[in-house]
Amino acid sequence: MAIQRTFSIIKPDATKRNLTGAINAKFEAAGLRIVGQRRIQMTRQQAEKFYEVHAERPFYGELVDFMISEPVVVQVLEGEDAVAKHRDVMGATNPAEAAEGTVRKEFALSIGENSVHGSDSEENAKIEIAQFFTEDQIVG
């Protein structure tokens, strides 16, 4: 498998509970390198654009409100098969369905307040990374 980059967000429910380090430890233990990272207060415009694929879903408004409710940590993670590896470490979107040892099993509060976001494909990872990082902010 090739070295890939993926995009990750440590969400407001996790930053609020001071879990950034604990979540990063799980990523690093899985072999993902944090090659870009910034703590930001996402704007409504950024959140609406980032989640625009979900604009027609009933939870869209709630999702946008949540993502701007507290700071988030946006990240670029790099490693062998990084997109799939990151999704494995995160666990299922719904924490009730997440496997033991995953971030969401351990830390997520609900399907909405689920602590982390990760890209679902390498193609989307490139698009999502470009929304928050310029190349010079990523140091591998």
**CA 78 – CA 18 distance, rounded (Å):** 23
* Amino acid identity, position 95: P
93 in contact with ligand CMP (CB under 6 A) = yes
Q: Which of 16, 130, 129 is nearest to 72 (CA)?
A: 16
- Please say whether the beta carbons of 115 and 23 come within 8 A: yes
Q: Among 11, 85, 86, 117, which one carries the catalytic annotation?
A: 117
63 in contact with ligand CMP (CB under 6 A) = yes
Look at the block and give the residue holding tokens 């944090």. Answer: 34
Tell me if residue 117 is catalytic.
Answer: yes
Site string for ligand CMP, 101-140 (x = CB under 6 A): ----------xx-x--x-----------------------
Binding residues for ligand CMP (CB under 6 A): 54, 59, 62-63, 93, 111-112, 114, 117
Q: Which residues are catalytic?
A: 117
